[in-house]
Amino acid sequence: MRCDGTNDCYDWSDEMNCADDEDCPYGHRRCASGQCIPEYKWCNRWPNCPDRSDEQDCDYAPCQPDEFTCSNGECVPLSLVCHGGRSADGRGCEDKSHLVHCDDHVCGEGQFKCRKSYCVDESQVCDNNGDCLNLSDEETCEHPCPYGQNLCMCYDQMMSCEGKGYRQLPIPNPLEQINKLQLSGNRLALNSTTFSGAGKHMDSVVYL
């Protein structure tokens, strides 16, 4: 979106030439370059304004006992440590350092534990969107796959492409760890190189 303080375009062009004659929304402050950003992102040791004006003339206070110190020095509530869910509303560390070293972290009520990683909201499980870095929030659900292509349906470690009439097999993402295939109703020519690049878990793939 334009002029919301987030660089949706690589070159920040969506954040240039923003009007400064209108008030920012409640709870926002205006950058010197004209954009409005959330007030809690002002002086948080991470530049959110394209001109970095939100990090100028800041009196940085040390983090409090109920806060986590991010790698960049930013302070965030301890409740956000290892919480990468949608309900966190982007209030964690801007450098994402609150989402590392979470292997043994115990998730709170209403949260789902990504495999050997951080937690997301339970509502994000099986929503056809990979919210965990390893896609573990979608791996036990029936979901379109391969991830990002949506050509077949996957459940657990099985990919079903039955009745599609494909001449070329869609290759699963290695993170999906597929090792069982349902392929009837296709026109496939399989050979020794078909699964190259699909991950070691497909070295002993089973056709069903």
Q: What is the pLDDT of residues 93-117, one digit of tens each?
A: 989 999 999 999 999 999 999 999 9
Cα separation of 43 and 201, whole Å? 47
Q: What is the pLDDT of residue 142?
A: 84
Q: Which residues make Cβ contacts (< 8 Å) with residue 124, sequence separation at least 6?
A: 85, 86, 112, 131, 137
Neighbours of 156 (CB within 10 A): 14
Q: What is the pLDDT of residues 120-173, one digit of tens each?
A: 999 999 988 889 988 899 877 888 888 788 899 988 888 999 999 998 888 887
Q: What is the pLDDT of residue 162?
A: 92
Q: Which residues make Cβ contacts (< 8 Å) with residue 4, sequence separation at least 6?
A: 15, 35, 36, 37
Q: How confident is the model at residue 69 (pLDDT cuts 50, 70, 90)?
A: very high
Q: What is the pTM of this model?
A: 0.57
Length of the chain: 208
Q: What is the pLDDT of residues 17-57, one digit of tens each?
A: 666 556 788 899 988 888 888 898 898 888 888 888 999 99
What is the DSSP track for 21-34? SSPPPTTEEE-TTS
Cα separation of 1 and 7, whole Å? 9
Q: What is the pLDDT of residues 184-201, one digit of tens each?
A: 998 987 776 666 655 565
Q: What is the pLDDT of residue 204?
A: 67
Instruction: Quickly tell me which residue has 């379109």 as its tokens.
Output: 144
Torsion of CA 87, 93, 97, 101, to 10 degrees: -40
